[in-house]
Structure 1
Amino acid sequence: MRWEGQKIRDDGGAESALLPLAGLVRTVRTPEFAGITFHEVTAKSVLNRVPPTSSMPFSWTINPFRGCSHACVYCFARKTHSYLNLDTGLDFDAQLVVKINAAEVLRRELARPSWSREHVALGTNTDPYQRAEGRYTLMPGIISALADSGTPFSILTKGTLLARDIPLLKAAAKSVGIGMGISLALVDPVLAEAIEPGTPTPRARLALISRLREAGLPCGVMAMPILPWLTDGDESLDRLFGELAAAGATGVTAGPLHLRPGSREWFLQWLAAHHPHLVPKYEALYRGGSYASKEYRDWLSGRIRIFRRKHGLAAGAGFFRNLSPGGGHEPVPLAPAAASRAVQTSLF
């Protein structure tokens, strides 16, 4: 394990660096983030170009962090940690790379004459409002840089720390289009704690949706992943869409779990420990690869449509969008398959 032998001072400094990271400044551990190691880097660029062949309704992304302390067992982004020669399980949850100069670099990039103020999406890989944001406070500078340059943007998050920036987002919305999205597919607090152990509770995220709506901001929901045999029953779907509607969600995109390399192994390990009787069913359902069988996807889509209509929710979360200030345009709805591609378009 390449972390063995690392000497990290408890006062926040590091005596040596182990990761071959460009721009590595220091490696840090602090008591308030027990079990988490931060690798602070100075980035040369933070705007990531989405491939021109992509069908996504945005052209650029920003990811201030690599790795995520939300520790969602199913997270598709786990594979990215293998590029650092780290494992996609515990290391992804606890070895976090932080672009400490993100806002400063972004301002320089946005000031270029060539910048055409295309939509920028945040939260497409790892969560910009994970707990580390409370330590590094990167998002206010990023939001201000985007707004000051006249660049529309969207944010997808599970982090209730976003509430801190609601005043800043309200001010930004007066000059640029903003799309807000909350990721919430589990409303059972026991299951959520087991499979998303580092995230705010479902109740806290529902309250955040309401706060955003009360602030006059749109708030769609990415209700993914729906878990076969765990959260795909009628009672579970009815409860999920009912609570999202009650919270004021402006639209919902929902779809089944995807099991890509890196996350597949980690999720099946969790499933074997917590629901061993389901392992053969999952192996059969995902025999064809990362996606559930077409028959299952078609069946689930039908159930989702029923309960979405029942609770009066619009199809599509609509937070990946270009809006005029004040929300003059309708959101661009994404089908579940397109939404899934959206959150994996840019990795770094």
Structure 2
Amino acid sequence: MDAADDRPVIERRAVLRDGFYETQARTMIERVPQTAGIAQRWAVSPYRGCAHACRGCGARAGHRRLGLDAGRDFDTRIVVKANAVSRLRAELGRWGGEALAVGVGGDCYQQAEATYRLMPGIVEALGAAAVPFTVYTKSPLVLRDAALLARAGAQVAISIAFVDERIRRAVEPGALGAQARLELVSALVEAGVSCRVLMAPVLPLLSDGADQLAATVRRIAAAGAGAVEPVVLRLPPGTRQWYLAWLGEAHPHLVERYEELYDRAGLPAAGYEERITGQIGQLCRVYGMRPGPPEPPEREPRFPQLALV
């Protein structure tokens, strides 16, 4: 009898190429977890895991289902859905036109995209199907596809939760600094792309001070963003353990306060979240930006006869 194969599930099912795990996706349009905090209910993610290594990323638990850990493995063992474009085109043929988020399971313009170039095909497929969609990213690689995104009517949401570089280096070690992301917003706006800022995640007791919020919103407005969508840090299973382990080392006096603030699902106390998002909303109005989730353009789906499927 052959010895049991005790390798992680992903290593048994994927092809390891250039440091990435290549897989063939069974489905591309997936439900967004309720704890995500974004407006869309459905998402397309060509990559799982993310080299930005953001400690508070809410997608970390997905790596557990692959036999990997939600911490270091999520940051370094990136899964690529090599058939993403063809699979998505097939699913869009049955899609009713509901808005989609792109890049929830991992930044869709992280370094893996420079190798695999899946996003041009995904953007073209979504544009051809007239499906409203928002691309979530922190990466300057999105500029490569600026013209394509503009033609497809995409919205791009650049994540900028704070402008303090000390915090960024601690909790987003693999991502661009805040200033570079602000410049990215300006470049996208100049290229004719509808660009907004996802002010996420606001970190309780670390980046939620009134002066910190004001400085962040002021600089976002100066970059030319038209809207800001604030999201307070979520700590779903997987993310919670990884983030709190870091917090216990860096800010041990805050751990107990976090445990009091968050429920079992990883959601912050409603009163706290309402206060923070209310403050950000007021600041946005002061600086002439619209607060809150995106308002997708009203477009008829390419396949309206399937809208009830």
Q: TM-score range by the shorter chain?
A: 0.7 to 0.9
- Show the counterpart of 1:309: 285
| Cα shift readout 1:42-79 (whole Å, capped 9, x = no counterpart) | 2233233679xxx9865642110111111110111111
- Show the counterpart of 2:306: none
Using the TM superposition, give the Cα deviation of residue 242 of structure 1 relative to its aligned residue in structure 2, in angstroms.
0.2
Change (3 A) 1:251 1:38: same
TM-score normalised according to structure 2 size: 0.85
Map 1:62-101 onto structure 2 (within 5 A): 62-101=44-83
| Cα shift readout 1:93-120 (whole Å, capped 9, x = no counterpart) | 111110112112223333x4x4444433
Map 1:98-109 onto structure 2 (within 5 A): 98-109=80-91
More deviation in 247-256 or 275-284?
Answer: 275-284
Change (3 A) 1:237 1:60: closer
- Show the counterpart of 1:8: none
Map 1:257-336 onto structure 2 (within 5 A): 257-286=233-262, 290-318=266-294, 321-324=296-299
Map 1:145-184 onto structure 2 (within 5 A): 145-173=125-153, 178-184=154-160
The residue matched to 1:222 in structure 2 has which SS? strand
Map 1:215-234 onto structure 2 (within 5 A): 215-234=191-210
Using the TM superposition, give the Cα deviation of residue 232 of structure 1 relative to its aligned residue in structure 2, in angstroms.
0.8
Ranges in structure 2 where 5+ consecutive residues have no aligned partner: 301-309
- Alpha-carbon distance in structure 2 between the residues aligned to 1:66 and 1:134: 15
Ranges in structure 1 where 5+ consecutive residues have no aligned partner: 1-15, 30-36, 326-348
Task: Give aligned-pair identity as a percent.
Answer: 40
Are the equivalent residues in 2 in contact too, given 1:237–1:304 (CA < 8 A)? yes
- Show the counterpart of 2:180: 204
Letter in 1 for 2:150: K
- Alpha-carbon distance in structure 1 between the residues aligned to 2:39 and 2:259: 33
Letter in 2 for 1:137: R
Letter in 2 for 1:228: P
Using the TM superposition, give the Cα deviation of residue 87 of structure 1 relative to its aligned residue in structure 2, in angstroms.
1.0
Using the TM superposition, give the Cα deviation of residue 21 of structure 1 relative to its aligned residue in structure 2, in angstroms.
4.3
Using the TM superposition, give the Cα deviation of residue 240 of structure 1 relative to its aligned residue in structure 2, in angstroms.
0.5
The residue matched to 1:105 in structure 2 has which SS? helix
The count of residues paired between Structure 1 and Structure 2 equals: 293
TM-score normalised according to structure 1 size: 0.76
Q: 1:191 aligns with which of 146, 152, 167?
A: 167
- Alpha-carbon distance in structure 1 between the residues aligned to 2:294 and 2:82: 30
1:119 aligns with 2:99: yes
- Alpha-carbon distance in structure 2 between the residues aligned to 1:136 and 1:170: 21
- Alpha-carbon distance in structure 1 between the residues aligned to 2:241 and 2:32: 27
The residue matched to 2:54 in structure 1 has which SS? coil
